[in-house]
Structure 1
Amino acid sequence: MAIDLTDSQFWRRYVPFWNPLSDVPFVETAHQTYSVPTADGELTVKSMLSSLELALLYALARDYWTGEGEIVDLGCLYGLTTRTMAEAVAQNTHVSPAEKAQRIYAYDLFLAEDYDWWSQASSTVHAGSWFSDFLKINRDRLDMLVPCPGDLLRMSWGAKPIEILMVDAAKSWDLNAWIVRKLFPNLIPGKSVVIQQDQVHSIEYWITITMEYFAEKFDYIDTIYGSSAFYLCKAPISHEEARVDLQAMPLAEKERLLLSAIARGRLSLREALKVTHAQLLIDHGEEARARAVLNEMSTERLSADPAYDFSEVARADRDRLLTSLDATARLGAS
C-alpha cells in the first residue's frame, strides 16, 4: 500500500494497541519497554520512542520507501528503530530483495556511559557498550544493515542519496550542524522524508530553528507523541546552503524562527514547544523572560487524541526548567 503524505495519518494502522493485527515487530509492555520477536526468541528492548513513532517509521520503510535512496537511522541506541525499519523493508513490495542489502545505515556511539540510569541488564553491558545488544536484536536482518558505531562528528556520509532520514542524534549544536552539512544536501526533493525525533524535547530547540530556517526546502507534515516531527524535502539543499552557522545567529533571529514554527503547530504542541522557547532564553541569559514564558504556558490536556496530546511532555519539561531556574536563583542569592 503506497503512502500519500498528504494524509498525515498513514501510520496509525500500524500502532499495535489500536490495531492488534498490525504486523509491526514490537509490543509495548511498559513505558519505553518493548517485547520484540527476534532470531533469539522474544527479547525485551528499551527505546525512547513511543509506539506511535515506531509505527511511523515502520509505515515509511514498508509502504513509502522506493529504494531510490538509503535509509539512515541516527541515534538508534539498542536498535529497536533499526529493527522496526528492517522488518518493514523485508515486507516492502516496491523494492526487490536484491536491492535491500545494506540499505539501512545505523549510527550510534552505543556507549552506556552517562546512560547508567536507563541501560537494561545484559550479559555484556559490563563492557560499557550496547553494541552487542544491537547486533543480537538485529541478528537476522544484518544483511540489510550497515552498523556505524562511533562518534558522529568524526564520521562522514559521501554522495549517496537519502530517502528516509531518522534523526535522534541532534543532541548539540555541533551534532545538528553535522547532520545539516553532511546529510541535507543528499536529500531527494519531492521524495525524502526527515523525522526529527527530538523536536518537542525542550533542550534541543535548535532542531525547530533549523527546520524553520530551511522552511522553503521542506513541507511540514505533522508532529506526533512522544516528540517526532516529520517533513517532506521539497527543494534541493546545496552544500553551500548547508554550511550555514545557525548557532551564530543573534537571539532575535533564533527567536523569530522558533516562534514562527511554534505558531504552526496544533494547540497542545504549541504549549509544549513554549518550553523550547524558555530553554533558548535561558541559554542566552534571559532567565526572567524564560520564567515568564513557563508561568504563562498551559500544561492541561488540550487534545482528546493521544497522538496529539503533549500535555505530559509540557508538564515534565516545564517543571524541570522551573526547578533549574529556582536552583540558580538560590545560588545567586547565597
Structure 2
Amino acid sequence: MSHAIGDAAAAAIAMIMKSLADPLRLRMLSAIASDPRAESCVCDLAELADVSQPTVSHHLKVLKDAGVLVSERRGTWVWYSIEASLRPAITTLLESFAPAALAPSASTDRYQGLEDVDEALTHMAANLSARHPQLSADAVAGVVRESYAGLARAARITTHLVPLTERFARQRLADLERDRVAAPPQVLFVCVANAGRSQLAAAMVERASQGRVVARSAGSSPAAAVHPSVRPLLEELGVGAPLEAFPKPLTDDAVRAADVVITMGCGDVCPIIPGVRYEDWAVGDPAMASPEGATAIRDDIAVRVDALLESLLGSPTMDPAPRVATEQNRSRGARR
C-alpha cells in the first residue's frame, strides 16, 4: 500500500513550489539551468524581461530564501546557481513539465486509431521478419507494435507515425542482433525529452565519425517533436527531415546494444548493464535557451563529442567548424 509524504516533506516541497509560482522566476531559473556555466548574474537575467535590476534581484532573493538558489559575489556582480542537491529535481521539473504544459491536452481516442493501422503494422512486421530470420516472427511483431505504441504516446500529429515506427523498429531490431565484437562502437545519448541535446550529440557523432561510430538517442519521457530552437542546429548538421530526427522512448534494447551510454540531465533512468560504459554530461538544455544560448550549448557538446570520439577511435575527428565556433565563444567569454 502506498503512503502519502509526511508533513515535513510536504511543507518543504510546498515552500519551494510557492517560490517557483511566478513566470519570471521560472524563466530566470531555466536560464540558469540551461547556461553552460551553470550560473548567471543579475546582468544576464535582466535581459529576460523589461524589468529593472532591483526587480530581478527581488525575485532572485525569493528563490534564494526558499533554498532553490545559492549566490556568490565576485567583484561588483553576484552570481546565482541552483543549489546542488536540488539541481536534478529542478532540471527534471523544467524539462518534463514545460513541454507537457505547452502541449495540447491528450485526446481520449489517441489509441483508438490502432485498428486503422493494424494492417500496416502487420505488413511491416512481415517484411522486417524476413530481413531478420534469426528472430522469431512473434518477437519482430512485438517490437513493431511496441515501437508504434511508444511513439504514439507522445504524438500530436500522426501523419508520419507509421514510417517513424518502421525506422524505430529497424533500429531496435538492429540493436537486438548487434555483434558487440565485430560492429563499430555504438553510443546512446539519453535525456528527458530527446528533443534537444541528445539529438544534437547523436547527430554530431554520426557526422564527425563518418560512420565509424553508431549513435543513438532516446528520452526517458520523449516529447512530441524536436524543439523549434534545436531544428536549425540539426539542419546545420544535415539533419532536417521529420523522419530523420524524432523523439524516441528509451528501451532496454538500446542500452544493452550500446558500448557507451551518456546521460544528459535525465537522472538514474538507465538500466545498469554489465560491460556498458556510462558517462553523465552536465550540459544545458538548448530547448530552454535563447538562440545564442542554444548555440553555446551546441559548441559545448561539440567539444565533449570530440573527446568521446578520440577515446573510442584514438584520434580527434570533430569537424573544424564547431571547434572554431567554440574557440570564438571562449574568447568572447574571456573578454567579458
- TM over 0.5, shorter chain: no
Normalising by structure 2, report the TM-score: 0.26
The TM-score, its normalising length taken from structure 1, stands at 0.26
Query: Higher strand share goes to which structure?
Result: 1
Higher Cα Rg, which structure: 2
